[in-house]
Structure 1
Amino acid sequence: MNAVNYGNGVPGSQGSSRLSAPTRRERLRTSTLTEIKDEARRLLVTGGPDAISLRAIAREMGMTAPAIYRYFDSLDALVEALAGDLYIELSEVVSAAKHDAGDDPVAQIMAMARAFREWSVAHPAEFALILGSPLPGIVAFQESCDDEHHPGVEFGRPFMETINALWLREQYPTPPRSMMEERLAAHLEPLRAGHGEEVPIEVAWAFLSGWSRLYGLVSMEVFHHLRWAVSDPGALFEMELHSFVGQFTGQSDKS
């Protein structure tokens, strides 16, 4: 973390923070960028991903189409920026759920999984943009997930840290390490780029296995692909969630 410079302590000194304060032009640009992304999200919610266009946003904001290109040089760049904001929002929801769950890692996992589902069901258009069929801007966003500060990595970090904490507390059942080393280890480079080379392969497997199961159910619920089977997808999600955490505790009745 960078240190904050509060000045030299001399009375009347303004310190370097005053020099780094944003100018009026910079504040206006930041405000306009936020307004553009807010309008893009509104179009997403009301019309789906295909409704987002720079021309439509410019029209709604009273800008000329060429003017908006001073802020985003392409639609893909705007979609990528919006995706980052949505992942940050989702990360904050998940992290808050983890904090409120107390110190028990199993309770934290269940709280985070439930928070993820609740946000996704409440925001189906946003879910579709960042976790559905990817638009070109989303493809670029996903392909850049090799930085620990990437919003997508930040979203996954609370889950990874908690599953790792469980492993350190008591090694839970996993496939044999030799099997995972042979079949999985060589393919974990993208995950390790964001979460660190030191992630045990058992933790990586548990993380990916759990994400596949829980994301799969949430995705089917959001896109209404479970209506043929269950009247309450939440009940099925809870069963699967209890089954998942059962591998850490040896039981599946954790509430």
Structure 2
Amino acid sequence: MSRDESEPVVPSRRERLRAETSREIKAIALRQLADGGPGAISLRGIAREMRMTPRAIYSYFPTRDDLITALISGIADSLAEALTGAGRAVPASDPAGRLMAWGGALREWALAHPESFRLFYGHPVPGYQPPEDGPVEMTARRVCRDLTGLVAAAWPKARHLQPEDTDWSDLHPDYVAKIRADLPEVPPAAAALALRVWGRMHGLVALEIDGHIHPVAANPAALHRAEMLDLVRSLGLT
């Protein structure tokens, strides 16, 4: 008897155990990152902690680069889901609300996943070579496209913030190629402004995750919200 295609595929016990082991490996790797920085991620160290042989753990991740790529890919998907989901929960007719939702979602995600935030936005992992045009690149491109689209929606009121003579040559060719392919109607000045908006959204969050905000601010959430409100107003939005 053939299986009804509408029925969900139930993983086998072997597949469930393998998925669980893979999650545990990645969780330990993130803990290594938190304890010793990017250079501390070690497959052999993980194998010792899990009482596995190196050969066994290499059947899950043949190299450290494979493990780091899997970590970053999962992080990118989680972050993109949080940001785009928050933005799309607000009507497109409310670009100010969407930007506020983006900023709040970025901070909430970072506070909930500080090690992931550091791996994704911190210093490069020594010796790691990310694959070109992999899932991480595609997810980052989606996030970039969505944020640039939000800024472009505010562009008629925000054009005074960016010099009108801004040219595509002022931006990195890779960034230009992505924007012109995904959002061909966006002018170079708006694309440049999107980078500045991202810098403001990201800046306070990075300082808070690295422990630089708490010694000087009693209420980091209020500080971040004030920065986001000022950003929205500077774009001419309400």
User: 1: CA distance between counterparts of 2:78 and 2:70?
Assistant: 13
Per-residue deviation, 1:64: 0.9
For 1:164, which of 148, 152, 155 is the aligned residue?
A: 152
Q: Deviations over 1:30-67 (max 9, x none)?
A: 66544432332344456654442101222333421133
2:79 is the counterpart of 1:95: no
Match of 1:124 among 100, 110, 114: 114
For the 8 Å contact 1:148–1:194, the answer to whether it is kept is no
Which of 33, 57, 73 is the aligned partner of 1:84? 73
1:201 CA displacement: 0.9
Contact between 1:87 and 1:155, CA under 8 Å: does it hold in 2? no
* Contact kept? 1:117, 1:218, Cα under 8 Å: yes
Equivalent of residue 58 in structure 1, options 22, 38, 47: 47
Q: 2:61 aligns with which of 72, 88, 91?
A: 72
Distance change (3 Å), C-alpha of 1:145 and 1:192: farther
Query: What displacement does 1:206 show?
Result: 1.7
Distance 1:37 1:65 in 2: 15
Structure 2 distance, partners of 1:39, 1:186, is 42
Larger radius of gyration: 1
- Contact preservation (8 Å) 1:94, 1:116: yes
Partner of 1:192: 176
Measured in 2, the distance between the counterparts of 1:73 and 1:193 equals: 33
Q: Return the alpha-carbon distance in structure 2 between the equivalents of residues 100 and 66 of structure 1.
A: 46
Residues 230, 24 of structure 1: alpha-carbon distance in 2 compared, 3 angstrom cutoff: closer
- TM-score for both structures, normalised by structure 2: 0.78
What is the TM-score of this pair, normalised by structure 1? 0.74
Matched, 1:135 2:125: yes
1:194 & 1:60 partners in 2: Cα distance? 42
Distance (whole Å) between structure 2 residues aligned to residue 46 and residue 161 of structure 1: 38
1:232 equivalent among 219, 224, 234: 219
Paired-residue identity, %: 35
Quick one: which amino acid aligns to residue 52 of structure 2? M
Q: Which moved more, 1:28-37 or 1:225-234?
A: 28-37
Following TM superposition, by how much is the alpha carbon of 1:88 offset from its aligned partner in structure 2, in angstroms?
0.8
State the one-letter code of the partner of 2:169: A
5+ unaligned residues in a row in structure 2: which ranges? none
CA distance in 2, matches of 1:56, 1:213: 38
How big is the shift at 1:212? 1.2
Query: Could you list the runs of 5+ residues in structure 1 that have no partner in the other structure?
Result: 1-11
